[in-house]
């Protein structure tokens, strides 16, 4: 993971509460201390990178992390700020989102006629999945924007499983949706060419179509990135409980369906060996052993590279503690 010279993307995901952020942050520290300028990104609305690094990384902008050998930056995507931007853009010049969109498509008259249905209010409200869409837009920036070109490693601390799967499937969904809109626009354009020439909206419509086509092409790039076995890897994080292992198996199955490469499974919070167990520890160790045996026999997980992270007697917080964890996990 460290030795490769080309740019690499790592996504860490799994059930809530298994320690994804600590594992993602420790991997980022490991990369930075190995000479790779690194960016760690949280796409989880409930950010905890600041807590993990014990530094204020809030604000939704690139923030430097102190204490590593090579540059390490963190970015907590701010969904509330992005929602406000969404509303502002959609309500510019006193209009509504649906009116602006349909004006751009040369269908402003139709939007006026539909105004009484209050469709504008519906579209001016951020839709479900906006957090994932915002994360996708950031991925596009990582691919294209010059300010991100310095980073040879980008680590994603993703939201719990359901959000992550929406994030991974969103490029397919948007690509198909934009394709349908473009086809519909083409049909409308051919049927209303005379009207367009009268009102002089040809250029405006074509500009809207070009923007949609550009967005569709970017979605294809993101989809290809998520599925590129040479540049991207999804790392599943779990803990040694039956419930967590079962969810990890379902996650891996979903990743395979999305053609997202996953090779590693981190089992976090494993009890270290002990010569004298209390009754509670003995029962806990027995439960963990049962869960670890599940991994060995589960058809979804048995082929993965299994890595264990011990349950430690201190809080993993701050760069030195993250380095300590990373030296154990990322061998």
What confidence category does residue 39 fall into, taking pLDDT thresholds of 50, 70 and 90?
very high
Domain co-membership, 253 together with 288: yes
Q: Which of 44, 131, 157, 175 is catalytic?
A: 44
Domain that holds residue 47: 8-79+228-272+279-329
Domain co-membership, 170 together with 302: no
Q: CA–CA separation, 296 vs 306, rounded Å?
A: 9
Q: Could you tell me if residue 288 is inside a domain?
A: yes
Domain co-membership, 16 together with 107: no
The CA distances from residue 18 to 82, 152, 155, 270, in Å, are 27, 27, 17, 11
With a pLDDT cut of 90, the percent of the chain lying above it is 47
Domain co-membership, 14 together with 43: yes
Domain co-membership, 13 together with 73: yes
Domain co-membership, 237 together with 291: yes
Among residues 207, 225, 243, which one ends one of the domains?
Answer: 225
Tally helices (H) and strands (E) across the chain: 13, 8
Cα atoms found within 13 Å of the Cα of residue 83, Cβ hemisphere only = 12
Domain co-membership, 204 together with 85: yes
pLDDT tens per residue, range 102-154: 455 454 544 454 444 444 444 455 555 667 777 787 888 888 889 899 999 99
Total domain count for the chain? 2
pLDDT value of position 227: 93
Cα atoms found within 13 Å of the Cα of residue 128, Cβ hemisphere only = 3
Mark whether 44 is an active-site residue: yes
Q: Could you tell me if residue 43 is inside a domain?
A: yes
Q: What is the CATH number of the domain that holds 42?
A: 3.40.50.300
Domain co-membership, 32 together with 95: no
Domain co-membership, 188 together with 73: no
Q: Could you tell me if residue 3 is inside a domain?
A: no
pLDDT value of position 188: 67
Q: CA–CA separation, 201 vs 193, rounded Å?
A: 10
What pTM was estimated for this model as a whole?
Answer: 0.81
């Amino acid at each position: 993971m460290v030795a490769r010279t080309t740019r690499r993307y790592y996504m860490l995901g799994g059930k809530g509460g298994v320690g994804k952020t600590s594992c993602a942050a420790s991997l980022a520290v490991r990369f930075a201390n190995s000479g790779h300028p690194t960016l760690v990104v949280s796409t989880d609305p409930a950010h905890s990178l600041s807590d993990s690094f014990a530094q204020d990384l809030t604000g939704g902008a690139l923030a430097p992390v102190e204490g590593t050998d090579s540059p390490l930056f963190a970015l907590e995507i701010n969904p509330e700020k992005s929602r406000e931007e969404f509303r502002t853009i959609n309500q510019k010049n006193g209009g509504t989102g649906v009116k602006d969109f349909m004006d751009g498509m040369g269908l402003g008259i139709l939007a006026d006629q539909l105004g009484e249905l209050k469709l504008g209010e519906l579209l001016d409200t951020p839709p479900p999945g906006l957090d994932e869409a915002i994360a996708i837009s950031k991925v596009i920036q990582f691919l294209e924007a010059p300010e991100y070109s310095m980073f040879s490693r980008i680590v994603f601390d993703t939201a719990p499983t359901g959000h992550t799967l929406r994030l991974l499937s969103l490029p397919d969904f948007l690509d198909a949706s934009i394709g349908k809109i473009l086809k519909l626009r083409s049909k409308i354009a051919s049927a209303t060419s005379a009207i367009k020439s009268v009102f002089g909206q040809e250029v405006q419509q074509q500009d809207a179509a070009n923007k949609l086509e550009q967005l569709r092409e970017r979605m294809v790039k993101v989809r290809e990135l998520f599925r590129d076995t040479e540049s991207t890897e999804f790392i599943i994080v779990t803990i040694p409980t039956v419930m967590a292992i079962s969810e990890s198996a379902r996650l891996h199955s979903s990743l395979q369906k999305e053609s997202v490469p996953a090779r590693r499974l981190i089992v976090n919070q494993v009890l270290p060996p002990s010569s004298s167990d209390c009754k509670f520890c003995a029962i806990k160790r027995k439960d963990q052993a049962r869960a670890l045996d599940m991994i060995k026999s589960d058809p979804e997980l048995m082929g993965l590279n299994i890595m264990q992270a011990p349950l430690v007697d201190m809080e993993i917080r701050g760069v030195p503690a993250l380095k300590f964890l990373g030296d154990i996990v990322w061998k």
